[in-house]
Amino acid sequence: MTTRVPSHVWDVVIVGLGPAGRALAHRSTALGLSVASVDPLPRRPWKATYAAWEDELPDWLPRRTIASSVARPTAWTTRRHTIDRTYCVLDTSALRSLLMKDSGTVVSGRAVNLSPTCVRLADGSILNARAVVDARGTGDSHGLAQQTAYGIVVQPDVAAQALCGENAVFMDWRRDNGTLPSAPPSFLYGVPLGPDAYLLEETCLVGRPPIPIPELTSRLLRRLRERRVIVPPHSDVERVRFAVEPPHSPGSSRASDPLRFGARAGLMHPGTGFSVATSLRYADVLAHQLRDGRSDGLWPWRARTVAALRSLGLRVLLNLDAEQVPEFFEHFFDLPIRLQAAYLSDRANPRGTAAAMRRMFSASSNEIRGVILSSALRPRNSMN
Ligand SMILES: Cc1cc2nc3c(=O)[nH]c(=O)nc-3n(C[C@H](O)[C@H](O)[C@H](O)COP(=O)(O)OP(=O)(O)OC[C@H]3O[C@@H](n4cnc5c(N)ncnc54)[C@H](O)[C@@H]3O)c2cc1C
Protein backbone atom coordinates (compact mmCIF):
# COMPACT_ATOMS: atom_id res chain seq x y z
CA MET A 1 0.00 0.00 0.00
CA THR A 2 1.14 3.54 -0.63
CA THR A 3 -0.06 6.98 0.39
CA ARG A 4 2.18 8.75 -2.16
CA VAL A 5 0.57 8.95 -5.59
CA PRO A 6 2.97 7.88 -8.33
CA SER A 7 2.76 9.97 -11.50
CA HIS A 8 1.38 7.58 -14.07
CA VAL A 9 -1.59 6.98 -16.33
CA TRP A 10 -3.29 3.86 -14.99
CA ASP A 11 -5.52 1.63 -17.05
CA VAL A 12 -8.12 2.05 -14.31
CA VAL A 13 -8.46 4.05 -11.12
CA ILE A 14 -11.12 2.76 -8.73
CA VAL A 15 -12.57 5.07 -6.09
CA GLY A 16 -13.91 3.19 -3.07
CA LEU A 17 -12.70 -0.13 -1.67
CA GLY A 18 -15.86 -1.79 -0.44
CA PRO A 19 -16.68 -5.25 -1.82
CA ALA A 20 -17.43 -3.82 -5.28
CA GLY A 21 -14.24 -1.75 -5.65
CA ARG A 22 -12.07 -4.55 -4.28
CA ALA A 23 -13.67 -7.15 -6.56
CA LEU A 24 -13.14 -4.93 -9.58
CA ALA A 25 -9.51 -4.22 -8.64
CA HIS A 26 -8.83 -7.94 -8.19
CA ARG A 27 -10.48 -9.03 -11.43
CA SER A 28 -9.01 -6.17 -13.49
CA THR A 29 -5.50 -6.96 -12.24
CA ALA A 30 -6.06 -10.62 -13.14
CA LEU A 31 -6.70 -9.49 -16.73
CA GLY A 32 -3.36 -7.65 -16.79
CA LEU A 33 -4.67 -4.10 -16.34
CA SER A 34 -2.68 -1.60 -14.29
CA VAL A 35 -4.94 -0.61 -11.39
CA ALA A 36 -4.82 2.02 -8.67
CA SER A 37 -7.53 2.17 -6.01
CA VAL A 38 -8.25 4.87 -3.49
CA ASP A 39 -10.12 4.80 -0.20
CA PRO A 40 -9.84 6.92 2.97
CA LEU A 41 -9.48 3.77 5.11
CA PRO A 42 -8.22 0.96 2.88
CA ARG A 43 -7.20 -1.17 5.87
CA ARG A 44 -10.64 -0.99 7.47
CA PRO A 45 -11.83 -4.55 8.19
CA TRP A 46 -15.27 -5.53 6.91
CA LYS A 47 -17.44 -6.12 9.96
CA ALA A 48 -20.84 -6.55 8.28
CA THR A 49 -22.34 -9.99 7.76
CA TYR A 50 -22.50 -10.42 3.99
CA ALA A 51 -24.79 -13.15 2.72
CA ALA A 52 -26.02 -14.27 -0.70
CA TRP A 53 -27.80 -17.07 -2.48
CA GLU A 54 -25.21 -19.68 -3.44
CA ASP A 55 -26.26 -19.68 -7.12
CA GLU A 56 -25.51 -15.94 -7.32
CA LEU A 57 -21.81 -16.34 -6.55
CA PRO A 58 -19.30 -16.37 -9.43
CA ASP A 59 -17.38 -19.55 -10.27
CA TRP A 60 -14.00 -17.95 -9.53
CA LEU A 61 -14.87 -17.49 -5.84
CA PRO A 62 -13.24 -20.25 -3.76
CA ARG A 63 -15.34 -22.23 -1.25
CA ARG A 64 -13.18 -20.99 1.61
CA THR A 65 -14.86 -17.57 1.30
CA ILE A 66 -18.14 -19.15 2.44
CA ALA A 67 -18.50 -19.30 6.23
CA SER A 68 -21.73 -21.30 6.28
CA SER A 69 -24.45 -22.43 3.95
CA VAL A 70 -27.99 -23.65 4.54
CA ALA A 71 -30.03 -25.62 2.04
CA ARG A 72 -33.73 -24.70 2.01
CA PRO A 73 -33.98 -21.96 4.64
CA THR A 74 -37.36 -21.05 6.07
CA ALA A 75 -39.55 -17.97 5.76
CA TRP A 76 -42.58 -17.13 7.92
CA THR A 77 -45.30 -14.88 6.51
CA THR A 78 -48.88 -15.72 7.42
CA ARG A 79 -47.51 -19.30 7.47
CA ARG A 80 -44.31 -21.29 7.09
CA HIS A 81 -42.51 -21.61 3.73
CA THR A 82 -39.33 -23.40 2.72
CA ILE A 83 -37.20 -21.74 0.06
CA ASP A 84 -35.67 -24.26 -2.32
CA ARG A 85 -32.31 -22.51 -2.69
CA THR A 86 -29.07 -22.59 -0.72
CA TYR A 87 -28.26 -19.51 1.30
CA CYS A 88 -24.64 -18.64 2.22
CA VAL A 89 -23.02 -16.36 4.72
CA LEU A 90 -19.66 -15.19 3.41
CA ASP A 91 -16.47 -15.24 5.44
CA THR A 92 -15.83 -11.53 5.08
CA SER A 93 -12.24 -11.61 6.23
CA ALA A 94 -11.39 -14.48 3.82
CA LEU A 95 -13.21 -12.65 1.03
CA ARG A 96 -11.41 -9.39 1.74
CA SER A 97 -8.00 -11.13 1.90
CA LEU A 98 -8.66 -12.88 -1.41
CA LEU A 99 -9.71 -9.65 -3.13
CA MET A 100 -6.75 -7.71 -1.68
CA LYS A 101 -4.26 -10.15 -3.20
CA ASP A 102 -2.96 -9.12 -6.63
CA SER A 103 -5.14 -6.05 -6.83
CA GLY A 104 -2.74 -3.31 -7.92
CA THR A 105 -1.71 -0.19 -6.05
CA VAL A 106 -3.76 1.09 -3.13
CA VAL A 107 -3.76 4.79 -2.26
CA SER A 108 -4.99 6.03 1.09
CA GLY A 109 -7.03 9.19 0.50
CA ARG A 110 -10.41 10.76 -0.09
CA ALA A 111 -11.46 11.59 -3.63
CA VAL A 112 -13.03 15.02 -3.94
CA ASN A 113 -13.41 15.28 -7.69
CA LEU A 114 -13.97 12.54 -10.25
CA SER A 115 -14.04 12.80 -14.05
CA PRO A 116 -14.02 9.92 -16.59
CA THR A 117 -10.17 9.98 -16.66
CA CYS A 118 -8.97 11.84 -13.57
CA VAL A 119 -9.42 11.78 -9.79
CA ARG A 120 -8.40 14.59 -7.45
CA LEU A 121 -7.80 13.71 -3.81
CA ALA A 122 -8.40 15.93 -0.77
CA ASP A 123 -4.62 16.39 -0.35
CA GLY A 124 -4.45 17.83 -3.87
CA SER A 125 -2.83 14.87 -5.56
CA ILE A 126 -4.13 13.68 -8.92
CA LEU A 127 -4.61 10.20 -10.34
CA ASN A 128 -4.90 9.89 -14.12
CA ALA A 129 -6.36 6.86 -15.86
CA ARG A 130 -7.77 5.58 -19.10
CA ALA A 131 -10.94 4.98 -17.06
CA VAL A 132 -12.08 6.06 -13.61
CA VAL A 133 -14.65 3.92 -11.77
CA ASP A 134 -16.73 5.38 -8.96
CA ALA A 135 -17.43 2.61 -6.38
CA ARG A 136 -18.17 4.88 -3.41
CA GLY A 137 -21.29 2.98 -2.30
CA THR A 138 -24.68 4.61 -1.92
CA GLY A 139 -23.07 7.63 -0.27
CA ASP A 140 -25.24 10.33 1.25
CA SER A 141 -28.48 8.56 1.97
CA HIS A 142 -30.54 11.65 2.76
CA GLY A 143 -34.02 11.17 1.34
CA LEU A 144 -33.26 7.70 -0.02
CA ALA A 145 -35.01 4.51 1.14
CA GLN A 146 -32.92 2.76 3.77
CA GLN A 147 -32.59 -0.59 5.48
CA THR A 148 -31.97 -0.75 9.22
CA ALA A 149 -31.40 -3.71 11.52
CA TYR A 150 -30.15 -4.66 14.95
CA GLY A 151 -28.65 -8.09 15.55
CA ILE A 152 -26.92 -10.13 18.22
CA VAL A 153 -24.53 -13.03 17.86
CA VAL A 154 -25.48 -16.10 19.90
CA GLN A 155 -24.51 -19.74 20.24
CA PRO A 156 -26.33 -22.39 18.19
CA ASP A 157 -28.41 -23.71 21.12
CA VAL A 158 -29.71 -20.21 21.83
CA ALA A 159 -30.46 -19.72 18.13
CA ALA A 160 -32.31 -23.05 17.95
CA GLN A 161 -34.69 -21.81 20.66
CA ALA A 162 -35.13 -18.43 18.95
CA LEU A 163 -35.68 -19.95 15.50
CA CYS A 164 -38.00 -22.68 16.78
CA GLY A 165 -35.56 -25.38 15.65
CA GLU A 166 -35.05 -24.08 12.06
CA ASN A 167 -31.52 -24.08 10.60
CA ALA A 168 -31.93 -20.60 9.14
CA VAL A 169 -34.80 -18.16 8.82
CA PHE A 170 -34.59 -15.73 5.93
CA MET A 171 -37.58 -13.70 7.11
CA ASP A 172 -39.98 -14.16 10.01
CA TRP A 173 -42.76 -11.58 9.87
CA ARG A 174 -44.67 -12.93 12.89
CA ARG A 175 -45.73 -10.22 15.31
CA ASP A 176 -44.36 -11.71 18.52
CA ASN A 177 -42.02 -8.70 18.73
CA GLY A 178 -44.48 -6.67 20.79
CA THR A 179 -45.84 -4.57 17.92
CA LEU A 180 -49.44 -3.96 16.91
CA PRO A 181 -50.50 -5.07 13.39
CA SER A 182 -50.73 -1.40 12.41
CA ALA A 183 -47.08 -0.61 13.37
CA PRO A 184 -44.44 -0.51 10.60
CA PRO A 185 -43.34 -4.14 10.39
CA SER A 186 -39.91 -5.67 10.92
CA PHE A 187 -38.84 -9.29 10.60
CA LEU A 188 -36.43 -11.64 12.31
CA TYR A 189 -33.46 -12.85 10.25
CA GLY A 190 -31.52 -15.77 11.71
CA VAL A 191 -28.50 -17.34 10.00
CA PRO A 192 -25.47 -19.38 11.02
CA LEU A 193 -22.19 -17.45 10.87
CA GLY A 194 -20.20 -20.68 11.13
CA PRO A 195 -20.33 -23.82 13.30
CA ASP A 196 -20.32 -21.92 16.62
CA ALA A 197 -22.35 -18.78 16.11
CA TYR A 198 -25.65 -17.48 14.80
CA LEU A 199 -26.82 -13.98 13.95
CA LEU A 200 -30.35 -13.07 15.12
CA GLU A 201 -31.35 -9.77 13.59
CA GLU A 202 -34.54 -7.69 13.72
CA THR A 203 -34.70 -6.01 10.32
CA CYS A 204 -36.60 -3.17 8.72
CA LEU A 205 -36.43 -4.28 5.09
CA VAL A 206 -36.89 -0.80 3.72
CA GLY A 207 -38.30 2.48 4.94
CA ARG A 208 -38.25 6.13 4.09
CA PRO A 209 -37.50 6.89 6.88
CA PRO A 210 -36.63 3.40 8.19
CA ILE A 211 -37.48 2.08 11.68
CA PRO A 212 -34.87 3.50 14.10
CA ILE A 213 -32.29 1.05 15.44
CA PRO A 214 -33.27 1.54 19.15
CA GLU A 215 -36.84 0.51 18.25
CA LEU A 216 -35.52 -2.60 16.44
CA THR A 217 -33.41 -3.40 19.50
CA SER A 218 -36.41 -3.43 21.80
CA ARG A 219 -38.44 -5.44 19.27
CA LEU A 220 -35.70 -8.08 19.06
CA LEU A 221 -35.41 -8.39 22.83
CA ARG A 222 -39.19 -8.60 23.18
CA ARG A 223 -39.39 -11.30 20.49
CA LEU A 224 -36.65 -13.34 22.14
CA ARG A 225 -38.35 -13.01 25.53
CA GLU A 226 -41.59 -14.26 24.00
CA ARG A 227 -39.68 -17.28 22.69
CA ARG A 228 -38.16 -17.91 26.12
CA VAL A 229 -34.65 -17.17 24.91
CA ILE A 230 -32.18 -16.01 27.53
CA VAL A 231 -29.94 -13.49 25.81
CA PRO A 232 -26.38 -13.95 26.98
CA PRO A 233 -24.83 -10.76 28.38
CA HIS A 234 -22.07 -9.12 26.32
CA SER A 235 -23.17 -10.66 23.01
CA ASP A 236 -21.55 -9.16 19.91
CA VAL A 237 -23.99 -6.88 18.14
CA GLU A 238 -24.48 -5.74 14.54
CA ARG A 239 -26.12 -2.44 13.65
CA VAL A 240 -27.21 -1.93 10.07
CA ARG A 241 -28.13 1.27 8.26
CA PHE A 242 -27.63 1.91 4.59
CA ALA A 243 -29.48 3.29 1.58
CA VAL A 244 -30.90 0.69 -0.79
CA GLU A 245 -31.10 3.13 -3.69
CA PRO A 246 -28.19 4.77 -5.51
CA PRO A 247 -27.89 8.57 -5.55
CA HIS A 248 -28.39 8.54 -9.37
CA SER A 249 -30.92 6.54 -11.37
CA PRO A 250 -29.43 3.12 -12.21
CA GLY A 251 -27.92 3.08 -15.69
CA SER A 252 -28.11 6.87 -16.17
CA SER A 253 -24.94 8.89 -16.72
CA ARG A 254 -23.66 12.04 -18.44
CA ALA A 255 -20.51 12.29 -20.57
CA SER A 256 -18.79 14.10 -17.67
CA ASP A 257 -19.46 11.22 -15.22
CA PRO A 258 -16.97 8.45 -14.52
CA LEU A 259 -18.10 4.85 -14.83
CA ARG A 260 -19.90 3.61 -11.72
CA PHE A 261 -19.85 0.21 -10.08
CA GLY A 262 -21.35 -1.61 -7.08
CA ALA A 263 -24.06 -0.08 -4.94
CA ARG A 264 -23.11 3.34 -6.35
CA ALA A 265 -24.11 2.13 -9.81
CA GLY A 266 -27.45 0.67 -8.75
CA LEU A 267 -26.25 -2.94 -8.54
CA MET A 268 -27.98 -3.18 -5.16
CA HIS A 269 -31.41 -4.80 -5.24
CA PRO A 270 -33.66 -2.09 -3.76
CA GLY A 271 -36.11 -4.67 -2.44
CA THR A 272 -33.52 -6.61 -0.41
CA GLY A 273 -30.48 -4.34 0.07
CA PHE A 274 -28.20 -7.04 -1.37
CA SER A 275 -25.43 -6.15 -3.80
CA VAL A 276 -22.30 -8.04 -2.79
CA ALA A 277 -22.88 -11.17 -4.91
CA THR A 278 -23.94 -9.06 -7.91
CA SER A 279 -20.80 -6.93 -7.65
CA LEU A 280 -18.62 -10.04 -7.39
CA ARG A 281 -20.29 -11.48 -10.47
CA TYR A 282 -20.25 -8.30 -12.57
CA ALA A 283 -16.67 -7.34 -11.67
CA ASP A 284 -15.57 -9.65 -14.50
CA VAL A 285 -17.98 -8.03 -16.97
CA LEU A 286 -16.67 -4.56 -16.21
CA ALA A 287 -13.01 -5.70 -16.11
CA HIS A 288 -13.34 -7.22 -19.60
CA GLN A 289 -15.03 -4.08 -20.85
CA LEU A 290 -12.19 -1.95 -19.46
CA ARG A 291 -9.57 -4.20 -21.02
CA ASP A 292 -11.27 -4.24 -24.41
CA GLY A 293 -12.12 -0.52 -24.37
CA ARG A 294 -15.80 -1.24 -24.95
CA SER A 295 -18.61 1.04 -23.76
CA ASP A 296 -20.68 0.37 -20.65
CA GLY A 297 -21.75 -3.29 -20.82
CA LEU A 298 -23.31 -3.19 -17.36
CA TRP A 299 -26.51 -1.58 -18.56
CA PRO A 300 -27.95 -3.29 -21.64
CA TRP A 301 -31.69 -2.62 -22.10
CA ARG A 302 -32.48 -5.80 -20.21
CA ALA A 303 -30.71 -4.55 -17.07
CA ARG A 304 -32.30 -1.12 -17.38
CA THR A 305 -35.75 -2.70 -17.69
CA VAL A 306 -35.16 -4.89 -14.63
CA ALA A 307 -33.94 -1.83 -12.68
CA ALA A 308 -37.18 0.00 -13.55
CA LEU A 309 -39.28 -3.01 -12.48
CA ARG A 310 -37.33 -3.35 -9.22
CA SER A 311 -37.82 0.35 -8.58
CA LEU A 312 -41.58 -0.21 -8.92
CA GLY A 313 -41.21 -3.14 -6.47
CA LEU A 314 -39.51 -0.78 -4.00
CA ARG A 315 -42.35 1.75 -4.32
CA VAL A 316 -44.88 -1.00 -3.61
CA LEU A 317 -42.96 -2.05 -0.47
CA LEU A 318 -42.87 1.56 0.73
CA ASN A 319 -46.57 2.08 0.03
CA LEU A 320 -48.02 -1.13 1.52
CA ASP A 321 -49.99 -0.80 4.74
CA ALA A 322 -48.29 -2.51 7.67
CA GLU A 323 -50.98 -5.18 7.80
CA GLN A 324 -50.57 -6.05 4.11
CA VAL A 325 -46.86 -6.88 4.33
CA PRO A 326 -47.06 -10.51 5.55
CA GLU A 327 -49.69 -11.32 2.90
CA PHE A 328 -47.54 -9.71 0.21
CA PHE A 329 -44.56 -11.88 1.18
CA GLU A 330 -46.80 -14.94 1.43
CA HIS A 331 -47.50 -14.51 -2.29
CA PHE A 332 -43.80 -13.99 -2.97
CA PHE A 333 -42.73 -17.20 -1.25
CA ASP A 334 -45.58 -19.06 -2.97
CA LEU A 335 -44.01 -18.25 -6.36
CA PRO A 336 -42.21 -21.11 -8.12
CA ILE A 337 -38.57 -20.96 -7.07
CA ARG A 338 -37.41 -20.04 -10.59
CA LEU A 339 -39.53 -16.86 -10.42
CA GLN A 340 -38.34 -16.04 -6.88
CA ALA A 341 -34.78 -16.40 -8.14
CA ALA A 342 -35.48 -14.35 -11.26
CA TYR A 343 -36.89 -11.50 -9.16
CA LEU A 344 -34.22 -11.57 -6.46
CA SER A 345 -31.09 -12.45 -8.38
CA ASP A 346 -31.21 -11.93 -12.13
CA ARG A 347 -30.63 -8.32 -13.10
CA ALA A 348 -30.73 -9.12 -16.82
CA ASN A 349 -33.99 -11.07 -16.96
CA PRO A 350 -36.91 -8.68 -17.53
CA ARG A 351 -39.17 -11.52 -18.64
CA GLY A 352 -38.64 -13.50 -15.40
CA THR A 353 -38.90 -10.36 -13.24
CA ALA A 354 -42.13 -9.27 -14.94
CA ALA A 355 -43.56 -12.81 -14.72
CA ALA A 356 -42.88 -12.87 -10.95
CA MET A 357 -44.56 -9.48 -10.53
CA ARG A 358 -47.53 -10.49 -12.68
CA ARG A 359 -48.09 -13.64 -10.61
CA MET A 360 -47.85 -11.64 -7.40
CA PHE A 361 -50.45 -9.21 -8.74
CA SER A 362 -52.84 -12.01 -9.69
CA ALA A 363 -52.51 -13.68 -6.29
CA SER A 364 -52.98 -10.45 -4.30
CA SER A 365 -56.10 -9.10 -2.62
CA ASN A 366 -57.86 -6.13 -4.24
CA GLU A 367 -56.35 -3.84 -1.59
CA ILE A 368 -52.79 -4.89 -2.43
CA ARG A 369 -53.54 -4.69 -6.15
CA GLY A 370 -54.66 -1.10 -5.53
CA VAL A 371 -51.30 -0.33 -3.91
CA ILE A 372 -49.44 -1.93 -6.83
CA LEU A 373 -51.43 0.04 -9.39
CA SER A 374 -51.07 3.37 -7.61
CA SER A 375 -47.32 2.74 -7.15
CA ALA A 376 -47.02 2.04 -10.88
CA LEU A 377 -48.85 5.24 -11.74
CA ARG A 378 -46.94 7.44 -9.32
CA PRO A 379 -43.71 8.89 -10.77
CA ARG A 380 -40.48 8.10 -8.93
CA ASN A 381 -39.94 11.63 -7.58
CA SER A 382 -43.24 11.84 -5.78
CA MET A 383 -42.72 8.74 -3.65
CA ASN A 384 -42.21 10.58 -0.37
C1 LIG B 1 -24.31 -4.77 8.81
C2 LIG B 1 -24.64 -4.87 7.33
C3 LIG B 1 -25.03 -6.09 6.79
C4 LIG B 1 -25.22 -6.22 5.41
N5 LIG B 1 -25.57 -7.43 4.89
C6 LIG B 1 -25.57 -7.60 3.55
C7 LIG B 1 -25.74 -8.89 2.97
O8 LIG B 1 -25.97 -9.88 3.66
N9 LIG B 1 -25.64 -9.02 1.61
C10 LIG B 1 -25.42 -7.93 0.81
O11 LIG B 1 -25.31 -8.10 -0.42
N12 LIG B 1 -25.31 -6.70 1.33
C13 LIG B 1 -25.37 -6.50 2.66
N14 LIG B 1 -25.24 -5.26 3.20
C15 LIG B 1 -25.15 -4.12 2.30
C16 LIG B 1 -23.68 -4.01 1.87
O17 LIG B 1 -22.98 -3.29 2.83
C18 LIG B 1 -23.57 -3.38 0.57
O19 LIG B 1 -24.31 -4.22 -0.34
C20 LIG B 1 -22.12 -3.31 0.07
O21 LIG B 1 -21.23 -2.87 1.07
C22 LIG B 1 -22.01 -2.37 -1.09
O23 LIG B 1 -20.69 -2.49 -1.55
P24 LIG B 1 -19.97 -1.34 -2.36
O25 LIG B 1 -18.55 -1.76 -2.48
O26 LIG B 1 -20.74 -1.03 -3.58
O27 LIG B 1 -20.07 -0.03 -1.43
P28 LIG B 1 -19.51 0.19 0.04
O29 LIG B 1 -19.36 -1.09 0.75
O30 LIG B 1 -20.40 1.24 0.64
O31 LIG B 1 -18.05 0.77 -0.17
C32 LIG B 1 -17.83 2.10 -0.58
C33 LIG B 1 -16.39 2.44 -0.29
O34 LIG B 1 -16.14 3.74 -0.84
C35 LIG B 1 -15.31 4.45 0.06
N36 LIG B 1 -15.50 5.88 -0.18
C37 LIG B 1 -16.58 6.63 0.10
N38 LIG B 1 -16.35 7.91 -0.25
C39 LIG B 1 -15.10 7.95 -0.77
C40 LIG B 1 -14.30 9.01 -1.31
N41 LIG B 1 -14.74 10.27 -1.38
N42 LIG B 1 -13.06 8.70 -1.75
C43 LIG B 1 -12.58 7.42 -1.70
N44 LIG B 1 -13.30 6.39 -1.20
C45 LIG B 1 -14.55 6.67 -0.74
C46 LIG B 1 -15.79 4.00 1.44
O47 LIG B 1 -14.76 4.21 2.41
C48 LIG B 1 -16.06 2.52 1.20
O49 LIG B 1 -14.93 1.72 1.49
C50 LIG B 1 -25.08 -5.09 4.58
C51 LIG B 1 -24.74 -3.85 5.15
C52 LIG B 1 -24.53 -3.74 6.50
C53 LIG B 1 -24.17 -2.40 7.07
Give the domain extent around 189.
146-243
| CB-CB contact of 286 with 261 (8 Å) | yes
User: Does 70 fall in a domain?
Assistant: no
Q: How sure is the predictor about 382, in pLDDT bands with cuts at 50, 70 and 90? A: very low
Write out residues with Cβ below 6 Å of ligand 1.
Answer: 15-21, 38-41, 48-51, 110-111, 135-137, 238, 240, 242, 262-264, 268, 273-276, 279
Number of domains in the chain: 3
Mutate to test the pocket of ligand 1, among 274, 344, 345 (most ligand atoms within 8 A of CB): 274
User: Does 69 fall in a domain?
Assistant: no
Task: Work out which ligand 1 atom sits closest to the CA atom of 274.
Answer: 11
Whether residue 112 is found in the same domain as residue 255: yes
Helix axes 19-30, 276-292, angle to 10 degrees: 40
Q: What's the 17 CA to ligand 1 centre distance in angstroms?
A: 8
Whether residue 201 is found in the same domain as residue 275: no
Indicate if the pLDDT at residue 263 is higher than 90: yes
* pLDDT the model gives residue 6: 57
Q: How sure is the predictor about 256, in pLDDT bands with cuts at 50, 70 and 90? A: confident
* Mean pLDDT score, 180-189: 97
* Mean pLDDT score, 147-172: 97
Percent of the chain residues past pLDDT 90, beyond the cut: 89
Indicate if the pLDDT at residue 285 is higher than 90: yes
Whose alpha carbon is nearest atom 31 of ligand 1? 18
* pLDDT the model gives residue 296: 67
User: Does 73 fall in a domain?
Assistant: no
- Distance between CA atoms of residues 138 and 215, nearest Å: 24
Residues near 34 by beta carbon (within 8 Å), at least 6 away in sequence? 8, 10, 11, 12, 104
Q: Tell me how far the alpha carbon of residue 277 is from its chain's centroid.
A: 8
Domain stops at, among 292, 313, 328 = 292
* pLDDT the model gives residue 142: 74
- In total, the chain counts a number of residues equal to 384
pTM of the predicted structure, to 2 decimals: 0.95
| CB-CB contact of 145 with 209 (8 Å) | no
Indicate if the pLDDT at residue 221 is higher than 60: yes
Higher-pLDDT residue of 140, 19: 19
Mutate to test the pocket of ligand 1, among 27, 242, 344 (most ligand atoms within 8 A of CB): 242
User: Does 265 fall in a domain?
Assistant: yes
Whether residue 285 is found in the same domain as residue 310: no
| CB-CB contact of 245 with 270 (8 Å) | yes
Whether residue 167 is found in the same domain as residue 237: yes
Domain stops at, among 227, 243, 259 = 243
Task: Please report, for the domain that includes residue 153, its CATH number.
Answer: 3.30.70
